[in-house]
Amino acid sequence: MSKDNDEQINIESAWKDAHDFDPKDPLFGLTRDEMSGTDLSRRATLRLLAAGGALTFAHLIPGSGATRLAQAADAGGTLNCGWAGVGEIVTLDPAQINQVLQFQITSNVYSGLMHINADLVAQGDLAESWEVSDDGKIYTFKLREGVTFHNGDAFTADDVLYTFDRSKDPEQSIHSKVIANVANLEKLNDHEVRFTLNKPQASFLPKALERASGRAMTIVSKGGIEALGLAQYGLTPIGTGPFKVTEHQLGQGVVLEKFEDYFDSERPLLDKIIIKPIDGPEPLAAAIQAGDISYIGGNPVPAQLVERFQSNPDLTVDIKPAPGFQSVWINPWREYMQVSDFNKPVEELKKEKGFMVRLALAKALDRELFVKQALFGNGVPAYGTINPAMGYYYDEKIGESSEQAFDPDGAKALMASAGYPDGEGFPELELITTPSQKRYGLVLANIYKQVLGITVNVVPKEFSVGIEDFNKNDYDLRLGGSGGDYDPDDGLVDWMITDSKFNGPTRDKAKHPFGFFSEAEVDAVIAEESVTAEPEARKALVQKANAITSNKVACGFLYHPVDVQVYHNSVNFPDESRIPGLHDFDRVSIKT
């Protein structure tokens, strides 16, 4: 009784404390210690959560270890998972992974130095603690001791160095750019390493060192790679994570089994996880309804199935904002919508015919209708790269303030001033989508027809073909975007700066000085925010950059996806493992 009362009082005081901050600077009054350490301190985390409006009482319940102990009784069992929208899991080698659905699996097999938690805050994984120098350029990590790989090798600082050397070599890893800012990595002793950065980087912990989405510093096993060879390692890799891969046949699936020597003896709870790739919505629905699988991972659950799953009393459906965005990319080098220089005030730009069309194409996006018709309601209108899953950095008012906000009359007027009243005289445009997003494209084409009177032809192309056209600026419109964006840099640095990796990397540079967008102020603000460690200052810069890209139409921002988690009621999936976009099974159990 009294214990319960104490707990109640503790929760209330924590709640009060978390909300007791200057809204402009939620971290004011916290020490640097509370920002470094084993993780962002509990106080810092709670404040950030409260500032982002994401704090709930569930976060405050102390001793979550107690609930975990209670669940330990449910240890054991096999979890059958279906991986949606994919025919085969081609690789589990972090150096080659280029799909979210792949690192969803590897997050259970490998460890990194850091791993984000359910609130997208980086926590120590193999890093026990760390210190950041005052200039933000030197990170010293104390590594966990007594950690072993699945093959029995001990984990030491040498493995961090081996992974680093492998990942920074573009011949061996496709993620070398992720750690391009690291000037030097040194081993201090067997369980201490020190990273020296070229310049400070706010996203260093949650992006470069993240075990799932980061990939560059997901710790691989030298012994494993040498013993198995690259191809086999890509199928049955060896890591230090909670589960080991015991079987992997392309197209048939992956079998994970409990790693008995995982560094946390309380995890994992499950004995075995069987992951089957399932292509197509109907087979997926059939499989979970028939009980062949009891958990869905992989590509997003097809929108048309969500309502059906929600109405099934055997299933739990949990919907959260997903870390990503999707846009209509508008080629600024097409004659009838050309914008060759974005470095002018918006009012100036609005006097150019090319920009009028560009803005009209963005303004005409009836995002509410799109979400209803294409996504069956499962999405959030987007006006920038910063997504609602980021909580703290997300700008909830951007939908009202952006030049891109849906305005059919404004869009029509712009087309008319550009010389195309009711779309007359405007050429037909091609919209490139992937085959699975084709119906999204059809909805967009319909919206453009209704609002602007122009004809847009949807051209579904395989991802490999479409991205090639996009990279060399050979497209009119393209539907596409990003996923796994946990840090603002995943949206801003990867997409919005002049030399971002998708900004026309293979274009004819003599003809086109940039790909889809280039703006000096955006470049400068992003350069500044990415080295600003202080959250409130960074937030202001992030939102500033986000607003400019929105107003100057870096693209027609369309929607932020939602993360729909679907599992059988027999599965016990704790909140602390509910990381949007990922499926971490180390704390998951099956109810008996």
The answer to the question of residue 251 lying near other proteins (CB under 8 A) is yes
| Residue 231 sits in the site that holds other proteins (CB under 8 A) | yes
Q: In the beta sheet, which residues pair with residue 232? A: none
- Closest by CA to 105, choosing from 281, 234, 225, is 234
Residue span 259-278 as binding mask against other proteins, x where in contact by CB under 8 A, dash where not = -----------------xxx
Residue 363 in the binding site for other proteins (CB under 8 A): no
Contacts (Cβ under 8 Å, ≥6 apart) of 363: 403, 404, 405, 406, 407, 408, 410, 411, 414
Give the integer Cα–Cα distance in Å for 367 and 379: 9
Contact 104, 323 (CB under 8 A): no
**What is the total count of residues that contact other proteins (CB under 8 A)?**
69
Q: Which is nearer to other proteins, 441 or 580 (CB)?
A: 441
By CB under 8 A, which span of 69-77, 135-143, 281-289, 577-585 interacts with other proteins?
Answer: 281-289
| Binding residue for other proteins, selected from 70, 290, 347, 428, defined by CB under 8 A | 290
- Binder among 439, 512, 537, 572 for other proteins (CB under 8 A): 439
**Binder among 332, 460, 535, 556 for other proteins (CB under 8 A):** 460
196 lines the binding site for other proteins (CB under 8 A): no
Question: At closest approach, how far in Å is the CB of 386 from other proteins?
Answer: 19
Decide whether 77 or 505 has the Cβ nearer to other proteins.
505
Does residue 133 belong to the site contacting other proteins (CB under 8 A)?
no
CB 365 within 8 A of CB 447: yes
Instruction: Name residues contacting other proteins, limited to 151-190 (CB under 8 A).
Output: 170-171, 174-178
Q: Pick the binder of other proteins from 235, 322, 382, 414 (CB under 8 A).
A: 235
Cα–Cα distance for residue pair 243/261, rounded to 1 Å: 10
* Binding string, residues 306-335; x marks residues near other proteins by CB under 8 A: --x---------------------------
Q: Name the segment binding other proteins (CB under 8 A); options: 3-11, 230-238, 260-268, 541-549.
A: 230-238
| Separation CA 244–CA 272 (nearest Å) | 9
Q: Is 289 an interacting residue with respect to other proteins (CB under 8 A)?
A: yes
The least CB distance from residue 474 to other proteins, in Å, is 11
Considering only 19-27, 82-90, 139-147, 580-588, which stretch makes contact with other proteins by CB under 8 A? 82-90
Between CA 356 and CA 288 the distance in angstroms is 48
Instruction: Select the residue interacting with other proteins from 435, 513, 569, 592 (CB under 8 A).
Output: 435
Q: What phi, psi does 312 have (nearest 5°)?
A: -90, 115
Scanning 222-299, the segments in alpha helix (DSSP H) are: 222-228, 230-235, 281-289
In the numeric block, which tokens belong to residue 463?
């991802």
**DSSP-based three-state secondary structure for 343:** coil
Quick check: 384 binds other proteins (CB under 8 A)? no
Hey, what are 535's tokens? 């959250």
Q: What tokens were used for 262?
A: 């995982």
Q: Does 457 bind other proteins (CB under 8 A)?
A: yes
The least distance separating other proteins from the CB of residue 303, rounded to whole angstroms, comes to 10
* Helix boundaries (H) for 244-366: 281-289, 303-310, 346-349, 353-363
Candidate list 11, 75, 161, 250; residue touching other proteins; CB under 8 A: 250
**Nearer to other proteins by C-beta: 178 or 492?**
178
Residues 6+ apart with CB under 8 A from 326: 382, 479, 480, 481, 558, 559, 560, 561
DSSP 169-231: -TTT-TTGGGGTTEEEEEEEETTEEEEEESS--TTIIIIISBTTTT-TTB---HHHHHHH-HH
- Beta-ladder partners of 249: 253
Handedness of CA 393, 396, 402, 406 (dihedral sign): positive
Burial 139-162 (b: 16+ CB within 10 A, else e): bbbbbbeebebbeebebbbebbeb
- 474 binding other proteins? (CB under 8 A): no
Which residue of 29, 53, 76, 283 would you call a contact of other proteins, by CB under 8 A? 283
Regarding 78 and contact with other proteins (CB under 8 A), the answer is no
User: Does 90 engage in binding with other proteins (CB under 8 A)?
Assistant: yes
User: CB of 450: closest distance to other proteins in angstroms?
Assistant: 9
- 249 near other proteins, rule: CB under 8 A: yes
Query: Residue numbers of the site for other proteins (CB under 8 A)?
Result: 87-88, 90-93, 96, 98-99, 170-171, 174-178, 230-231, 234-235, 249-253, 276-283, 285-287, 289-290, 292, 302, 304, 308, 369, 372-373, 376, 433, 435, 438-439, 441-443, 445-446, 457-460, 462-465, 467-468, 471, 501, 505-506
